[in-house]
Every structure is written in C-alpha cells, then in structure tokens.
C-alpha cells in the first residue's frame, strides 16, 4: 500500500516537473517538446541494417513520427502510423512509466499542431504568391486596357485624339459649363494649301506634314487643352476655362509658330525640299443654350471667314 502511494507520488512529482512546464512553455515557444530520456532507437533495438530507412540514424524525431519507415511503410497517414507504432516494442520500451507515455502523447499533439501550422504557413505563402501574381496580372491587364483605350481614341498619324473622342469631350465640357458657368472656346484649324502639297510632293509628304503639325500642336497648347484631328487637314482644340480673348492670343502663337517652322518633304523625284506652310484658324465661344453642333458650326464658319480674308489668320465668330 505504502509502496504504491510512494510510486504515485513519484509519478505526480515527475508530471509536475517534466510535463506541466512543457504545457506552459507552448504558449511562447511552439517548437517546445517533451524530452524523453528513455527513448529507444528502433534500428538499435531491432538491430536493423536498413540504412536507407528514414528511422535509421540519430534523428531528433523518433521513428513513430517519421513516415515511410521500412517496418510500417503501409501506414497511409501520420495518425495511422502513430496508432500502429504504439503497439511496437520500441515505443513500449521508450515509455516505461506513465510519465513518458503522457510525454509522448503530448509530443504527438504538439507535433501534429506544428505540422499543421507549417502546412498553413506553406499555404499562406502560396496564397500570397498567387495574390501577387494575380495583382501583377490585373495591373498588366489595366495597362493593356489603357493602351487599347488610347488606340481607340487616338489618330495614329498625328498622335492627337480622333473625331469620335472629340464629341465625347465636348459633351462633357458643355455640361461642365452649364453647371459652373465657366468659359469654353473651340479652336478649329485648317492647314492652308494642303492639297497643293499632296499634288506637288505626293501623299507621303502630306502625311509627314500632318504628323509634323500634330507634334507642334501638342507642344504649343497648354496642359489643360486637348487637341483632335477633325478630318483630313482639319483640327480642333478644346480650350477649357478660356474666353475668346485668351483663345485668340493662343491661336496667334500657334499660327505664328507654324508659319516659321521649316518642313522637309520629299518630292516625286525623291529629292528633299524645305517648305513653309500657313494655317487658318476659327474661334467660337460657348454661349448658354448652344448645342455641340452649334459650337462646331460656328468655329467652322470662322475658319471659312479667315480663308475668305486671305488665309494665314485667326478669325473669331461674331467679332471679326
């Protein structure tokens, strides 16, 4: 009776000293394990010569934690293997008392949690990688969509916006003017004697002239302005927040710059030649109640007026 009580006291004392501290340390150290001083190595116990077995050698983990060992290769899962190994003499010899058995059961639980956590980290890293790949794909798609959108609204030859996009922009600008009562002026430009350039030097030279003018217009306009190729040798600039007086100053600067810039064309005989060209500009200001069509018609009428008065000039609708 007294011997059993003494034995029970020893076991309880060992549990307090060896098992319970491990339980408390788990909260701050997920690598902690119960150290079983009686653990037996299977290859030594069974005098195994299978050096290719995962359980052979001085592994930190006992054989019942190692999948694919020679003696129980048929175990399909960790849970099945530990259940099978508990009946093995190696495990029984490693657990001579209840303390070691409790310690190995605790190790089993900690090992399972650790493996699950490791698997979760791998999954999380995989998810993070996939998220980065997805984000990169979305950014590339957005970039590609922007490129496609630019192609849809851009005139390839001049690099300016096209006529279809002009209508969208003007509708928005007119709505903004109606809300805020801000000024808005449309500048319509027609390149003088453009047909003569095509006839004299060929269409490639005419295309070069259009491309040259597109670059000049982008360079000369303000950042808040937007330029469009209206059709053929006609162009339109939408001048937001700009009245007729300021638009006239800007138009004069564009006209003056263009007539002074040399343009190199190639004649039909393949010889290069430097020419100078001029333009006629018409300006029309938005007034309350006007439609998009009204505004463009007035700008067009101002261009015709400039041409009728000798070309190479700026005309303001209703003023000049």
In the annotation, is 233 catalytic? yes
Specify the pLDDT at position 62.
76
- Strand boundaries in the chain, DSSP class E: 184-191, 226-231, 234-240, 263-266, 272-275, 279-285, 314-316
Q: Pick the residue with more confidence: 13 or 312?
A: 312
CA-based nearest residue to 283, from 300, 265, 258 = 300
Specify the pLDDT at position 102.
84
Q: Which of 4-8, 192-196, 304-308 has the lowest mean pLDDT?
A: 4-8
In angstroms, the CA 251 to CA 282 distance is 9
Per-residue pLDDT tens digits for 131-145: 888 888 888 877 877
**What residue ranges define each of the domains in the chain, with the CATH number in brackets?**
2-124 (no CATH), 163-316 (3.30.70.270)
Contacts 24+ apart (CB under 8 A), 96-103: 96/38, 97/11, 97/14, 98/11, 99/11, 99/14, 99/15, 99/18, 99/19, 100/36, 100/38, 102/15, 102/19, 103/18, 103/19, 103/22, 103/34, 103/35, 103/36
- From the list 18, 104, 173, 233, the catalytic residue is 233
Q: At 94, which helix (H) or strand (E)?
A: helix 89-94
Of the spans 55-59, 116-120, 133-137, which averages the highest pLDDT? 133-137
DSSP 299: H
Q: Which of 220-224, 250-254, 262-266 has the lowest mean pLDDT?
A: 262-266
Where residue 96 falls among pLDDT bands split at 50, 70, 90?
Answer: confident
Specify the pLDDT at position 78.
63
Of the spans 12-21, 77-86, 232-241, which averages the highest pLDDT? 232-241
Helix (H, G, I), strand (E, B) or coil at 49: coil
Specify the pLDDT at position 84.
72
pTM (whole model) above 0.75: no
Query: Length of the chain in residues, anyone?
Result: 320
Question: Does residue 243 surpass a pLDDT of 60?
Answer: yes
Question: Does residue 76 surpass a pLDDT of 60?
Answer: no
Specify the pLDDT at position 280.
97
Specify the pLDDT at position 208.
92
Q: Which of 49-63, 85-99, 184-198, 299-313 has the lowest mean pLDDT?
A: 49-63
Per-residue pLDDT tens digits for 274-313: 999 999 999 999 998 899 999 999 999 999 999 999 999 9
Question: Does residue 57 surpass a pLDDT of 90?
Answer: no
Question: Do residues 32 and 22 touch, judged by C-beta distance below 8 A?
Answer: yes
Specify the pLDDT at position 302.
96
């Amino acid at each position: 009776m007294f011997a059993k009580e003494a034995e029970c006291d020893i076991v309880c004392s060992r549990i307090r000293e060896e098992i319970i501290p491990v339980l408390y340390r788990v909260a701050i150290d997920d690598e902690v394990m119960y150290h079983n001083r009686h653990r037996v190595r299977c290859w030594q116990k069974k005098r195994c010569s299978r050096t290719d077995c995962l359980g052979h050698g001085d592994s930190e983990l006992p054989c019942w934690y190692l999948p694919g060992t020679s003696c129980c290769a048929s175990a399909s899962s960790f849970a099945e293997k530990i259940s099978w190994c508990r009946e093995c003499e190696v495990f029984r010899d490693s657990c001579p008392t209840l303390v070691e058995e409790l310690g190995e059961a605790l190790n089993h639980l900690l090992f399972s949690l650790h493996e699950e956590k490791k698997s979760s980290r791998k999954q999380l890293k995989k998810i993070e990688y996939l998220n980065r790949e997805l984000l990169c794909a979305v950014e590339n798609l957005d970039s590609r969509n922007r490129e496609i959108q630019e192609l849809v609204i851009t005139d390839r030859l001049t690099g300016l916006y096209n006529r279809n996009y002009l209508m969208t922009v003007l509708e928005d600008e007119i709505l903004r003017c109606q809300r805020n009562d801000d000024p808005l002026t449309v500048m319509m430009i027609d390149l003088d004697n453009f047909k003569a350039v095509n006839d004299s030097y060929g269409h490639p030279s005419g295309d070069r002239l259009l491309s040259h003018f597109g670059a000049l217009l982008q360079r000369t306009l303000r950042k808040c302005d937007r330029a469009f190729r209206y059709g053929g040798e006609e162009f339109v600039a939408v001048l937001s927040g700009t009245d007729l007086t300021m638009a006239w100053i800007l138009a004069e600067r564009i006209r003056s710059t263009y007539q002074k810039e040399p343009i190199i064309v190639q004649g039909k005989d393949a010889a290069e030649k430097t020419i100078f060209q001029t333009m006629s500009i018409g300006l029309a200001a938005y007034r309350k109640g006007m439609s998009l069509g009204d505004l463009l018609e007035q700008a067009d009428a101002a261009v015709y007026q400039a041409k009728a008065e000798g070309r190479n000039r700026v005309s303001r609708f209703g003023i000049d």
